[in-house]
Structures are given as structure tokens and as C-alpha cells.
Amino acid sequence: MSSDVLGPDPARLMAFNVVSASDPAGFEDRLRVSERFPDASRSYKYRLLDSRLWRTRFANPILSLAIRSTGAILACHGGSRFATEVLHAGDDSNFVGFTTVLQGEMTLVERGVRTTATAERGLAFRPRDQTRILTSDESVRTNVFIRVSELEGALEHMLDARLRSPLDFGSDFDWTLGLAASLKWQLAFLMNEFERPDGVASNAVALASMTDFIVALALRAAPHNYSGEIGKGSSAAVPFYVRRAEEFMVAHCADALRIADVAAAAGCSVRTLGDVFRRFRDRTPLAALHATRLDRVHAELSFGATDGDAAAIREIARLYGFTNWSRFVVAYRRRFGETPLAVARRALRA
């Protein structure tokens, strides 16, 4: 870490609520973390592990947090210059956190068990009463917190059944293997999007799709007490579900749709919808919704909805949830064989 910055460049955190502290004796008064998390019945207390530093005032921040919450997701950057303890007290949190360590280590102490996250090992945890988190010296990490209700609701749709007991993740997992590696990459992408004032977090349509994708991936990538049941069984559904879902997507592709909304409109569970789309369309419902939105943008550009101006095209793309211009252009060109600007200008000439 540099002498005055903990974690990312402050210029990247303009959309975040950023707090820092340089006086260990005033952590609680300065940080007021309990007020910044949407868990009113919980408290979060910070203290340095080395008691010799408790009375020292530092010229630069020794602890920094940057938080942004929207929808069902709370994104958090954290940095600690010295080894620090965080004590969670109160009711079980309404969120499950997925930790990526960028520098140093972070250890979860829960029910007497210590689990350490590193650059290669991730953590999935739900803060409970007396849960402790210990960070090392020179620690930098990100935490993406997802509402428990979102995860459990999606899991019930996957299993097509009510949960017998609460969802409980198995703490640590290997970031370098299988779907966990994909989850790590997607969480990093999500953090980058939350850093952008005009990114996914500011667009309800895009955020709904991103949330569905991250939730589904987390349930498959991070081990939990229902991991062995995901993917079992087969569906006897017919293509009627697919047609109903596709009609609903076309009619509502500019709305902040969740895949659960599409499944409800089709008259089936999310799990069944996923099964029939893979069987009859060879893609996921989320991929189908993405393609539908691209088709709608293409239709508007083809019929001269803009004057060929790039800014106007961006506005149409954002309307359908495409907040990252470069990714949108790549996806558009892959699907239609030309850029959106070329299509809009051809329509203008016509």
C-alpha cells in the first residue's frame, strides 16, 4: 500500500460511500459501519489486534471502507494497514458475503472454526452473532454481499421445492478451479461496474439481469448444504413454456426483469424454464433475454430511431440494459455482423 491510499484509487470510488480512520481510539465514531450496512439489528466493531497501537494517532488512514448498495447487492472495498479484528454482534445478517482477497489475508472465526482467505482461497459467509473477522497487516479485499432471500429464493426455483433448512455456505473454496474461477472473475467485473457512476448499478434493467446471473453462478460455484441436489432430476415440460417465455421477454424487454418474472409468466418454475430452454433453444433464459434486447435495439436503429449520432445510440442501448458501450458493440456486432453505428447511419440514408 502507498502511504496515503488503502485499496483502489479514490477516483474509482466516486459512486461509493467512502470512510477512513487514522485514530484507532475513534474507529467506531469515525467509521459508524453499523449505520452503513442495511442490517439495523447488527453492530460491527473494529479494533487493532496490536494493543500497543491503540493510543497512536497516524498521519494517514490505517483503515478504509468503501460501500455501495443497490438492489439486492452490497459491494464493499476494504483496506487495513495493520492487523484488525471485526466483531459482528446481533441477529444473523440478511446478507451472504463473498470475499476476494487482493493483498494479505483475511480469517473468518465462526463457531470456534478459523478459515483463512487468500488470493487463491475465497470465502462465503453469513455474519452471525459473535462472528469475528481478522485481517492481516497490509490487507486489501473486496466483499460482494447478496441478500439471503435472493439466494434462497433462487435455490428453491433451482430445486423446484421449498428449502428444508436455511441455506448455509461452507466457508472457503478454491478460486482457481471450475465455476469458482468464473465466479471470481464475475465478482471482479461487478465491482468494476459498481465503480462506474453510469454502470450496471445505476440501471435497474441491467442490474436485474446481473443479479440473476451472479446468484445462479454463486449457488453452483460455492459449496453449501444443497450443492449435491442442484442439477438432479429432469423436466417433462413442453415447448409451450418456451413460447410463453419468449413472448413475455419481447413484450417486457425494456423492464427490469428477473428470470423469476419470466418463469412466472411462462407458468413454470425457474428450474423448469432453464431445463426447457437448454433442451429446445440450446441456451439459458438469461442469454435469450440478452438476445431479445439486442434484437429490440437493432430494430429501433434499423427503423431510424436516431439521427446516426453515437450518443443517441448509447441512450437506446441503456434503455435496454446495455451500460457498457464497448461490450454492447462487441455483442451487437457478433449477433448482426456490423456495428450499431453503421446500422443507424444506413437507416438515416434510407
Are residues 260 and 186 located together in one domain of the fold? no
Q: 103 with 145, same domain? A: yes
Q: Is the domain of 27 the same as that of 166?
A: yes
Please report which confidence band the pLDDT of residue 3 belongs to, taking 50, 70 and 90 as the band edges: very low
Same-domain check for residues 321 and 284: yes
**Average pLDDT rounded to a whole number, residues 120-149:** 93
> Where is the domain boundary, 156, 177, 210?
210
Higher pLDDT, 292 or 89: 292
65 lies in the same domain as 180: yes
Can you give the pLDDT at residue 216? 92
In a domain, 5, yes or no: no
Give the Cα separation of 110 and 132 in Å (integer).
Answer: 7
Predicted confidence at residue 8, as pLDDT, reads 77
Beta bridge partners of 76: 67, 143
Q: What number is the average pLDDT over the span 187-213? A: 93
Whether 62 and 192 map to the same domain: the answer is yes
* CB of 89 closer than 8 Å to CB of 128: no
Can you tell me the mean pLDDT for 197-211? Answer: 93
- Evaluate whether residue 215 is within a structural domain: no
Are 240 and 322 part of one and the same domain? yes
Q: Quick one: pLDDT at residue 208?
A: 93
Examine the pLDDT at 263 and tell me if it is beyond 50. yes
Cell numbers linked to 349: 440514408
Per the domain annotation, does 3 fall within a domain?
no
For residue 67, what are the domain limits? Answer: 10-210
Average pLDDT over residues 63-76: 93
pLDDT of residue 34: 57
Instruction: Return the C-alpha cell found at 241.
Output: 413454456
AA identity, residue 200: V
Q: Are residues 189 and 321 in the same domain?
A: no
Tens of pLDDT, residues 300-338: 998 877 777 888 999 999 999 999 999 999 999 999 999
- Residue 223 is assigned to a structural domain of this protein: no
Mean pLDDT within 167-176: 90
Q: Do 23 and 104 fall into the same domain? A: yes
CATH code of 83's domain? 2.60.120.10
Residue 155 included in any domain = yes
Could you tell me if residue 218 is inside a domain?
no
Over residues 238-256, the mean pLDDT reads 89
Q: Is 176 found in the same domain as 287? A: no
- CATH number, domain of 289, equals 1.10.10.60
Q: Mean pLDDT throughout 64-85? A: 93
- CA–CA gap between residue 281 and residue 292 (Å, rounded): 13
Last residue of a domain, one of 146, 178, 210: 210
Residues 253, 176 within the same domain: no
Same domain, 181 and 234: no
Mean pLDDT (whole number) for 283-295: 95
| Lookup result for grid cell 433462487 | 154
Q: Is the model's pTM score more than 0.85? A: no
- Based on the structure, what is the number of domains in the chain? 2
Task: For residue 150, name the pLDDT band (cuts at 50, 70, 90).
Answer: very high
Q: Tell me if 106 sits within 8 A of 123, measured CB to CB.
A: yes
